[in-house]
Each structure stands twice: as structure tokens, then as C-alpha cells.
Structure 1
Amino acid sequence: MTDTSRDLVLERVLDAPRANVWRCWTEPELMKDWFCPKPWRVTEARLDLRPGGECFNIMEGPEGERVENPGVFLAVEPGERLVFTDAFLPGWRPTGEPFMVGEIRLADADGGRTRYHARAMHWSEETRARHEAMGFHEGWGIAADQLEALARTL
């Protein structure tokens, strides 16, 4: 039996085609437009879409805050699933302080929409609680709204 007690999950149906949602997750220039809640912004994004490939972005806040998010992809199933983690850097170098494994699953929904499932799997109850306190539900929800709005325009 799978223990999901350290997971945080966001599920929605997005009013945009799955191919467009996939593009928003896999094209760095598009990712910059939606990935973090405004007024925060992504100023740099690098994506090497293969297991072990780099998954990196820099988020900057309105008061000069800067958060670098290095990691790698663990699985890439085009159009359907991305799994990434901050536990490793490219070349499978351990980062020393892993926070989570992220999984994005996409599926077709009625009317040309997309069933969107985002899951953050944490190494411990403490990191799950910390992520939740940081505003996981609100922040990932706002980002999903921004993702949907951008994907509708493509």
C-alpha cells in the first residue's frame, strides 16, 4: 500500500487543450509567464526533457527575493506526465537537502479540456508541513489559474 500522507495534491480540470498545457510546462519561455504567483516571476528557466535532464528555474519576488530551484527530471512521458525532483542535480549529483518530488499528470477531459493533477511528494512530514505552511494550496492554485489562462491563448 502506498503511503500518501506526505503528499500535497492539486487536481483540476483546466479549460485548455492538453497539448497547450504540456507546452506551458515544457517550453522555458512559456513557463516564465505562469509558473509562480504574481507579483513573483520566473526570470530564468532551463528544461532538458529526459530522465536525468536539468529542471531549473529562478523565481524572483517583488522585493528582490531570489529563489533558485535546481533539479532533474526523473520521468518524462510526452503529453502525459512529468516527474522532477530537487534531490539531484544533473549528472545525478545529490543536492544534500532534498525537499520534494513533483509529479504532473495530464489527461483529456470533455470539451477539449485537460484533467490536471499536480502532486508534491515530500521526504518527511516536516517538509510536507513546511510546504503547506508556505502556501502550497494557494500558490499552486494561483499558478494553475495562470497556467490555464496562458494555455487558452496558445
Structure 2
Amino acid sequence: MSQTTTFTIDKNTLNVKRVFEAPVDTLWKAWTTAEILDQWWGPKPYRAETKSLDFSEGGTWFYAMVSPENEKHFSKSTFQQIDPEKAFTASDTFCDENGTPSNQFPGSRWKVSFTPQNEHTMIDINIVHENEADVKQILEMGFKEGFTIGLNQLEEYLEGNL
């Protein structure tokens, strides 16, 4: 069953919410396991390819978004706080293939929260940028459309794996 993804913007903060028909533990695993992230994170026709994932406080997820032409666009998330099956925070930055941050694109700080709602789970993603111009740049790059596709792919993954 397709759910609605809501996006709201307040100055330098972008908030994304969506309810999934799956329990918290299943959603948590989908957000914290490389093999599962690679199945839904990259919006088709792109795909995600994890280089490394250490889901621990201070650990990182280093991955590439791979285009149909096999062009790779790298990102790195560094986990600050993890409250198992409730929330995690991470700083996210675009980078090169060695993990060196890019100054061409803005970084952000993410807080991803998981709230049970009977047999469903609300995912609440708060993405804080340095300023409003950074939010505008990310939206112009197609973040809303791409992230919605990714969340739809997560829903498809869950439907086939529950």
C-alpha cells in the first residue's frame, strides 16, 4: 500500500515523514544494514553501492550513487548518536572516492527517528543544513523527487521481504 511522503521546509531545515507498514525492528535494519540499503537507497535508474559501513557512534557509511553509465557520486555519513530502534543522527557530506569532503555541495546533519504506530512505523527525518541557500541547492538538485523514489523502493523492498 503506497504511503504519502511529506516534505516541509523551515528555513535551513528539511523534514521528511512517512509511515511504513512494517515494525520498527524491520525498518531499523533496512536503514542500518549495507546489503539492504544498497537495494533501496539509490533512486532508479541510479543505485547505491556501499564501500563500507560501520554503524556505530563515530562510525561511517561510505557509499556511491552509481548512474546507469557507471558514473559514481560519493557520499559519507558519520554517525554521532545511536539510540537503537528509536533514532540516530549523522553528519552527511558529498565527497570524492577517497572520502575527502566536497566543497561543491552542502553537507547536512540528519536525525532519523522511528516511531511505532501499531503494526506500522513512522519515519521522521530531520535534515539540517547550514543555511537556506543550501536547502534550495539540494532541492534544485532533485532531492525531493529522488528521495521519494528511494522511499518508494524501500516500501517495495519491505513488501517483498516481510
- State the TM-score bracket (shorter-chain normalisation): 0.7 to 0.9
| Structure 1 residue 34: Cα displacement | 0.2
Residues 45, 27 of structure 1: alpha-carbon distance in 2 compared, 3 angstrom cutoff: farther
Q: TM-score, normalization: structure 2?
A: 0.81
CA RMSD of aligned residues (A): 2.3
Residue number in structure 1 paired with 2:115: 107
SS at match of 1:79: coil
Query: When the two structures are aligned, how many residues end up with a matched partner?
Result: 147
Matched, 1:124 2:123: no
Q: Which segments of structure 1 move beyond 4 Å, counting only runs of 4 or more?
A: none
1:80 is aligned, of 67, 86, 100, to 86
In structure 2, the gaps of 5 or more residues are 1-9
Contact 1:8 1:132 in 2 (8 A): no
In structure 1, the gaps of 5 or more residues are none
Contact 1:17 1:151 in 2 (8 A): no
> What letter is aligned with 2:146?
G
Alpha-carbon distance between aligned partners in 2 of 1:56 and 1:75, rounded to the nearest angstrom: 17
| Structure 1 residue 68: Cα displacement | 0.7
> What letter is aligned with 1:100?
S
Aligned ranges 1:128-143 → 2 under 5 Å:
128-143=135-150
2:153 is aligned, of 131, 136, 146, to 146
Alpha-carbon distance between aligned partners in 2 of 1:143 and 1:9, rounded to the nearest angstrom: 16
Alpha-carbon distance between aligned partners in 2 of 1:49 and 1:144, rounded to the nearest angstrom: 20
Alpha-carbon distance between aligned partners in 2 of 1:106 and 1:9, rounded to the nearest angstrom: 14
SS at match of 1:151: helix
| Structure 1 residue 119: Cα displacement | 2.2
